[in-house]
Amino acid sequence: MRIDIITIFPEMFEGPFTESIIKRAVQKGIVDIQTHNLRDYTLDKNKKVDDYAFSGGAGMVMMIEPVDLCIRDLKSERDYDEIIYMSPDGELLTQPLCNSLSMTQNLIILCGHYKGIDERIREHLVTREISIGDYVLSGGELGAAVLADSIIRLIPGVLNDETSALSDSFQSGLVSPPVYTRPREYNNWKVPDILLSGDERKINDWKLEQAILRTKQRRPNMIE
């Protein structure tokens, strides 16, 4: 998979993409992540990529021309399955959406900033808009990092144990059940006996029961 990220702050991705699971995925050649500085595509001599909104109002707006030029340049080299704009009013990022995007080959992620982007970008250049939650960030970079991580970890070969992703919260429509590790007793807090029984059927039944109970308690909207 290849992910191209358009941003005015490419340095923000150096931490998230140079550690842990994503770092290993890049080193294995499973995923290729490229960041592109939008200022490299502006025709303005001062590298300006934003301007005042027509009709006034507070905040600056990202201009269409540098975004269009960048996307055109990328599309001249390969076809893209989706051109995604990270937006607080986009469709909510969910596990099924992550599953779907993990099966694509090439993605562009556009990170907005300031008051937003010229609406014509959304109308004519972007194919999908995604939000990581009902709140506003200073820019789309953190959201893009979250989106990339949530997709990449699902690609076969990325995780050492590929079955691990299948038991994550939301994969089955439920949140995950409680998990425990050694020591079996700490400060008189004990691991449930059923998990030490060795009876796989009973353990699986317990995990399902706990997942349903926890979902009802913490995310009742999923049960409904």
pLDDT of residue 163: 53
β-pair type (32-37, 50-52): unpaired
| pTM for this prediction | 0.88
Domains defined for the chain, CATH in brackets: 2-152 (3.40.1280.10), 170-223 (1.10.1270.20)
Predicted confidence band of residue 59 (pLDDT cuts 50, 70, 90): confident
* Average pLDDT of the segment spanning 61-74: 97
> Cα–Cα distance between 162 and 53 in angstroms, integer?
48
- % of the chain at pLDDT higher than 90: 87
* Structure tokens that stand for 64 in this block: 């269409």
132 with 84: CB under 8 angstroms?
no
Q: What is the pLDDT of residues 74-124, one digit of tens each?
A: 999 999 999 999 999 999 999 999 999 999 999 999 999 888 999 999 999
Least reliable range by pLDDT among 33-37, 162-166, 171-175: 162-166
> Cα–Cα distance between 92 and 87 in angstroms, integer?
10
Burial classification of residue 11, based on how many CB atoms lie within 10 Å of its CB (0-12 exposed, 13-18 middle, 19 or more buried): exposed
* Average pLDDT of the segment spanning 46-53: 95
81 with 105: CB under 8 angstroms?
yes
